[in-house]
Structures are given as structure tokens and as C-alpha cells.
Amino acid sequence: MSATHLIARDELRLMARNRVAVIALVLLVLLTLAAVLSSWSHQRGIAELRMRHQQVAAAAFKAQPDRHPHRMVHYGTFIYRPLGALAAFDPGVDAFTGNSMFLEGHRQNSANFGDVRQSSLLVRFGQLTPAFVLQVVAPLLLIFLGFGVLAGETERGTLRLLMLQGVSRGQLVRGKLAALGIVALIVGLPAMVGFVAVVAQPGTLALPMAAIGLGYALYLALWVVLILLASGFARRGRDALLALLAIWTVAVVLVPRIAPDIAGAAVPLQNRLQTDVAIARDLRQLGDSHNPDDPHLAAFKQSVLQRYGVTRVEDLPVNYKGLLAMEGERLTSGLFDRYAGASFAAQTAQNRLVDAIGVLSPTIAIRALSMAAADTDFAGHRRFLEQAETYRYALVQRLNRMEAKNVSYADDIAEDAGADRRKRIAADNWQHMPDFAFIAPSASALAAAALPGISILGLWLAVATLLLTRVTRLLGARQ
């Protein structure tokens, strides 16, 4: 058996004899299992609830009686953001975004009823998920178990004895590395096994799951190397521990909190009131439907009349009010898209800035990677909002087209007692409306979104390993 093997085995035996270490490890495994189970049941519960709500909303829409199509534009529909299977591992921003959205004509509503506004203050302490355990708790446990692996030998003077017996510095460090690596594996494995077990269709999601697995392997490996570095560099175990605790505090707790503040201050977001007022202003300039002499709408009317070769809207073969509604919706939706696009761009810029700061904190990198692969990051939420808007626009325009085709202009402007009845169109029209179906990104796209994070972690690991070889060479040289 090689010296490296012996050292690794010896170190592990030492840890196994340390009752506190074993208890801590068992507790972490239990915590991981609790996180996997609670996160899984939470995700399942939410996914089912939203699916049920979605079905209720769709059924309610289809069950509407004979109506004027414009009433249906205002009746609108509710859609719910489905929660993917990988959210059981890392729910990401799901609790912080609204997940139910009311879609109607003329307006773009916010997504409401997010968990964060429905929970106690505890929600801001973090969420118990497998991702949280691996990102935050696992490194701390590794620090507790590993800070003394080299510093202890130096402190006790056993380092010299080992060297006298012919153990090279490289063998020693590699042996310790292997021992702590095995501990990291024990720490990380339950979460990963649980992850695979709870994801219902692992086959189709194999790629993003592999990306997440690789990411966390790199992350924990990085901590193992960092711990060896500090332990090899420090003269006393206590120095190594305090230094590692400081690094952990800065990288895991502090920087992930400061980075968003910097990003938020650097790239301001326009709030809803200002956006709404700006959209209303732009709309008045584009075509003010309240102004009978509006040039844009007058030109629109003229072009419609010309297309059909008539001189009065009453003579049109279609209902002019429906056409006008379509034109109005086209104008407002164009503005919605423009302002939402600007806001999304600003938020993406903020996230880029945080990612850039992530070069300083591997925790930011692993968090971004993990959310991106699980499709629970801002990009995933944005995808939902954009698909919702596309669906809203298609639905409203479909209804407006029905008004143009199936309701006569004369009926539409009539106000006599029977007019309400004549304006309505048959209920079976609503039944042919397509339901909202969220199109999830492909597995390869999710995995690709994790690549930047993986490369940052890889880079960190490479640099740390390089440093470790230097520290290894100096091991025991300073006394």
C-alpha cells in the first residue's frame, strides 16, 4: 500500500474516532435528507396546486356563456407558472416571484401571490433545500473536519517524524486531500442520491442534472483544496480554523449579500408607476383612442375603408370596432413589450454584475449555476413572463377578431333593450381557445446555461490546486 493511501486511511480513521466529527456528519446527512424530502414535497405540492388552478381557470374560461367577445377580453384568464421537477433540488427565485398571473386586454398585470409575501420573516433567513445545504452548510462542516489535517501535524511536530520516515510532502498532501475528498463525497452524496430519486423523469433531464452534479462536485472539491491550503499554510490549527471561517463568512454569507446591493445601485430599475405612466404617455402619442381627431387612428380608419373600397365604416363587411380593438391592442402590446424588454435588460445587467462579482465568491457562481440548470433563475421567470405575454396577446387578438367577424357593427353600437342579446356570440367559441402551455427549455439549453458557472468554479479549482502545490513545497520549511 502506498504512503498516500496509508495517510488517507489513517486520517479517516482519526476522524471516525472523533465523536464530534461523526455526530456532525450524521447531522448533516440527516439535514440533507430533511431538505430533500421537504423540498420535494413542497415542489410536488406547488406543482399540483398550480396545475389544479390552471385547470380550474381554463375550465372556467371555456364554461362562459354566450358573450360579447370584448367581455371575454376583460374576463381574461389566469395562468400559473408550472414548477419543473428540478426545482425540488433548487427552487431558486420561485418563492420570490409571483406565480399566478391574470391576463386581460389592454393591461399587463404583475405576477402575484409569491411565497415571499405570504410567509413570515423567516423566509429571509434562507430556505431549507438540498442546494442550500450543499452551498452553505457543507463547506462549513468540511472546514470543521479538515482545518487541522496539515496544521495539526505541523503543530504537534509529527510532520517532521513523517518526513523522517520517508514520506514526501506530495504524498502527505495527496493523502490528506484524498481523506477530506472522501468526506466531501459523503457530505455531497445524499443530496445527489436524493436528487436523482425525487426527480420524476430523470431520463429527459439527465443533462442539467449532470451539470448540477458536476457543479457541486467542483464546488466541494474547491473547498477541500482551500481547506488544505489554509491548513498547510497556517502554523497552528487555530489560525487555519479562523482563517477558513473568515473565508467562509466572506464568500458564503457576505459577498452574496453585498453583490446584489451593488448591482441594484449600479443599474436602477424603473418602478411600476413610472412605467405605467410612461406607457400611457407613449400611447397618447401613438394613437389616442379617446381623441376623435387622433391622426394615427384617422389614418387607420382611412386605410381600412380603402382596403374594402367603401366610404363609411357602416358599409364595411367587418365590424370596425373589432378592427379598432385589434389596432389598439397592437399598439399597447408593442409598448408593453418595449418597456418589459427594457426592464428585463436592466435586470439581466444586474444579474451579470452579480455574476461578475461571483468571480470573487464561488458561492455566487454555484448558486447561479444551480438555478440556471434547474430553470429557477431570473431567466426562467422571464421566459414565463414572455410566454405569458405572447399568449395574452394571441388570446386577446383572437377575441377581437371574433368581434370584427361575428358581431355586426350596427349591433355593436346599438344601445336599445335587445342590443345586449344581439351583441353576444355563441359560447362554443370559447371552447376552441387554446390553453396556455408553458414551453420549458430543452435539457441541453439548461445544461448550457450552467456552463459559465462551471467554468468559473473550474478556474477557481485550478488556481487553488496550483497554490496548493506551492504550499506543499513549503510545508514544514517554516517552523
Do residues 228 and 154 lie in contact, with contact meaning Cβ atoms separated by under 8 Å? no
Shortest distance in whole angstroms from residue 238 CB to another protein = 5
d(CA 268, CA 358): 20
Shortest distance in whole angstroms from residue 124 CB to another protein = 5
- How many other CB atoms are there within 10 angstroms of residue 245's CB atom? 15
Shortest distance in whole angstroms from residue 36 CB to another protein = 12
The greatest distance separating any two alpha carbons of the chain, rounded to the nearest whole angstrom, comes to 107
Residue 78 to residues 51, 117, 301, 333, Cα–Cα distance (Å): 12, 19, 33, 18
Shortest distance in whole angstroms from residue 199 CB to another protein = 20
Nearer to another protein, 195 or 248 (CB): 248
Shortest distance in whole angstroms from residue 333 CB to another protein = 18
108: helix, strand or coil: strand
Do residues 58 and 216 lie in contact, with contact meaning Cβ atoms separated by under 8 Å? no
Nearer to another protein, 309 or 418 (CB): 418
Nearer to another protein, 1 or 121 (CB): 121
Side chain identity, residue 474: L
Shortest distance in whole angstroms from residue 264 CB to another protein = 5
Nearer to another protein, 285 or 311 (CB): 285
Shortest distance in whole angstroms from residue 422 CB to another protein = 13
Shortest distance in whole angstroms from residue 108 CB to another protein = 11
Nearer to another protein, 145 or 461 (CB): 145
Q: What are the beta bridge partners of residue 67? A: 425
Nearer to another protein, 243 or 461 (CB): 243
Nearer to another protein, 148 or 169 (CB): 148
Q: Which three cell numbers mark 335?
A: 409598448
d(CA 43, CA 39): 6
Nearer to another protein, 74 or 401 (CB): 74
d(CA 93, CA 80): 15
Nearer to another protein, 271 or 479 (CB): 271
Shortest distance in whole angstroms from residue 160 CB to another protein = 21
d(CA 290, CA 469): 74
Nearer to another protein, 41 or 303 (CB): 41
Shortest distance in whole angstroms from residue 219 CB to another protein = 16
3-state DSSP percent of the chain in helix, strand and coil, to 5: 75, 5, 20
Side chain identity, residue 442: S
Do residues 110 and 98 lie in contact, with contact meaning Cβ atoms separated by under 8 Å? yes
Q: What are the beta bridge partners of residue 100? A: 80, 112
Shortest distance in whole angstroms from residue 417 CB to another protein = 5
Nearer to another protein, 144 or 216 (CB): 144
Q: In sequence order, what DSSP letters do the residues of 364-411 get, joined into one string?
A: HHHHHHHHHHHT-SHHHHHHHHHHHHHHHHHHHHHHHHHHHHHS-HHH
Shortest distance in whole angstroms from residue 265 CB to another protein = 6
Shortest distance in whole angstroms from residue 288 CB to another protein = 8
d(CA 383, CA 446): 12
Nearer to another protein, 252 or 404 (CB): 252
The C-alpha torsion from 389 through 393 and 399 to 405, rounded to 10°, is -170
Closest CA to 436 of 35, 32, 51: 51
Q: Which residue has the cell 409575501?
A: 117
Do residues 347 and 436 lie in contact, with contact meaning Cβ atoms separated by under 8 Å? no
103: helix, strand or coil: strand
Do residues 182 and 418 lie in contact, with contact meaning Cβ atoms separated by under 8 Å? no
DSSP 236: S
DSSP 104: -
Nearer to another protein, 132 or 171 (CB): 132
Do residues 228 and 180 lie in contact, with contact meaning Cβ atoms separated by under 8 Å? yes
